[in-house]
Structure 1
């Protein structure tokens, strides 16, 4: 069986758990564990301490430093510099293949993540190791990054992306489209998540985020609209945080600041944040979803739950709209500015279209799963790798 080195920006159930990244990593770990066994996997991330307990695989520290920071270490912390350099070589030599799990971190927006990964991939190329990227958003890039990415990813065996159009404009190498890995995350209750579902009974799931351009008034404005639409539909609200640095900030801090808007007993915040598969199970029990978070929409749409997205700017509009369009659905989205006028009607329209949501989810699971599995068969060297070229519906974006 091949030995596989995985890179993912996750923490296990650590205090900086991020639902979207963990959801995609959870899928990748489960698939590769089934195909080649957990003992053949090792995952590098910045906070590896809880990964073995959470996912049952080995882990090592892979810190996100920019090239400039890395060079400075040679003079300020020479032992750390050589340890970092030798760790890349050591871990690459121990493996047969390298996979970068899904996410949006291969971009100049996160230079430390991007540049640290490129340094390791450069080592992998030098030693002739297969490189596979799955469920990525590639770019945007500053020009110096674009040149590095073009040079290093030119040798990648597979570049799997989750957006049809944007990623192909960012690099010269061919990219392959498949739906986001989180679409195929199994939803499984724990005792913790099942208790929430049983106690709340008839509920909607909402997720919020204070995006960069939003102020406190904007947050309250959106929350009030969500409170009105849940009360109008006679459901309780289960607030699902996706990221809470330190376990208390981010979405959880936001949730505490808006909870007073709901009548007593009508608002429940999921705290602490459990595994993504448990949150997807909660989503499956809900009546509908209203979310500013991309992966909360993905959870809902991939299991047939009526959903509405709320965006802040052009980027988040494109991202949320794309989640619907990728599954063949009409985009039920509105902006923070228009939420008062649009949300109630959009939720009503989504609920009325429940059969359409369910049909789209069934189609996704039956027809798109094979596309999404292709890079995992390549990684595992399974017999399926000999047949993947004949799978129907695979779309290589460069040929569009």
Structure 2
């Protein structure tokens, strides 16, 4: 039976990355019948419990070596693994795993990667040396393709696809209703008549006042527009402090999603929102899959690229975002809501087709 090792930011209880893994594993299993999948995870037991996938400790070099040695192919991704904004250490880790697979003579695919930014000269040179020996790279946007060319990565086949999360099918309304009941959330209903708006924030070193600005915007959403506000801590251990800082600044009541759910459950829940205000990329993607418009706060080029390609409202860089910017974005969504929903459905259909291409290409490489 064919065997694949998947490397990524897994086992850290980040909704977005766990959704990427869920969609990638499901897609690969559909494209490659009988495939055996092993995940490099921060928490192998949690990965097994959540996804039903065998996993090894990503921080144990011997375990990683053995897993890759027994496999036919390494799948690196998806997500923004190859960048040095968060840290150089993480970039070196993912390049090191790829280099290990290459040393062992295994096939390697970069799967729906968001590449960059890679700013340091040494890191750019290392990325070029390692990635130029990868036979197949799929990227989730044109900017990643451009950066690879700028780095001098010319040998691999590079295909612009989409984030694997676009392939997720939302959970049915009955499941969403059960989540709302368990969480003590209001009945969400259908987003076109919905009265709940989602808000996703994260800490960011360049945005000292963003919590206060978002709090004022959330008060406007609740007090003036009459919507309930639901906060979504995507990476709980990282985002919760920022969420609570915003809620502490608010005058109006709000709700907080407490549990950790499957990607299908999360997409199902977000598909019932009226619209979403988000810094994080994957709540924007989840909402889009559910046909829900967005107002985006840009902290990273990947968020800007998605908002532009999906034709969603951007209020610009989070470092300079004002309350007036957010309120203008909200007004823009509300005044043309029905047309935005229709256009978003058309755009997402194209994203979903591109997301499925990741698995087709992986199967072709594995079967060579």
Are the counterparts in 2 of residues 102 and 135 from structure 1 also a CA contact under 8 Å? yes
Q: TM-score, normalised by structure 1?
A: 0.78
Are the counterparts in 2 of residues 98 and 130 from structure 1 also a CA contact under 8 Å? yes
* Partner SS for 1:101: strand
Flag the structure with larger Rg: 1
2:235 paired with 1:252: no
> For the structure 1 residues 233 and 62, does the alpha-carbon distance in structure 2 shift closer, same or farther, using more than 3 Å as the test?
same
Question: Once the two structures are superposed, what CA deviation does each residue of 1:144-199 show, in whole Å capped at 9, x if it has no partner?
Answer: 22222222222222211122124422431353212222222222246653425862
* Partner SS for 1:60: strand
Partner of 2:191: none
Q: Which of 358, 372, 394 in structure 1 is aligned with 2:355?
A: 372
Are the counterparts in 1 of residues 2 and 35 from structure 2 also a CA contact under 8 Å? no
* Partner SS for 1:9: strand
Q: TM-score, normalised by structure 2?
A: 0.84
Q: Which of 121, 126, 151 in structure 2 is aligned with 1:143?
A: 121
Partner of 1:224: 216
2:230 paired with 1:209: no
- 1:242 Cα offset (Å): 0.9
Partner of 1:284: 271
Q: Which of 89, 92, 98 in structure 2 is aligned with 1:115?
A: 92
Please give the root-mean-square deviation of Cα atoms over the aligned residues, in Å.
Answer: 2.8
- 1:137 Cα offset (Å): 1.8
Distance 2:312 2:274 in 1: 19
5+ residue gaps, structure 2? 189-194
2:232 paired with 1:240: yes
* Partner SS for 2:114: strand
Distance 1:96 1:370 in 2: 26
Equivalent residue runs for 1:7-26 within 5 Å:
7-11=7-11, 16-26=12-22
Distance 1:158 1:292 in 2: 30
* Partner SS for 2:143: coil
Aligned length: 350
Partner of 2:77: 101
Distance 1:349 1:10 in 2: 36
Distance 1:3 1:25 in 2: 16
Are the counterparts in 2 of residues 122 and 152 from structure 1 also a CA contact under 8 Å? yes
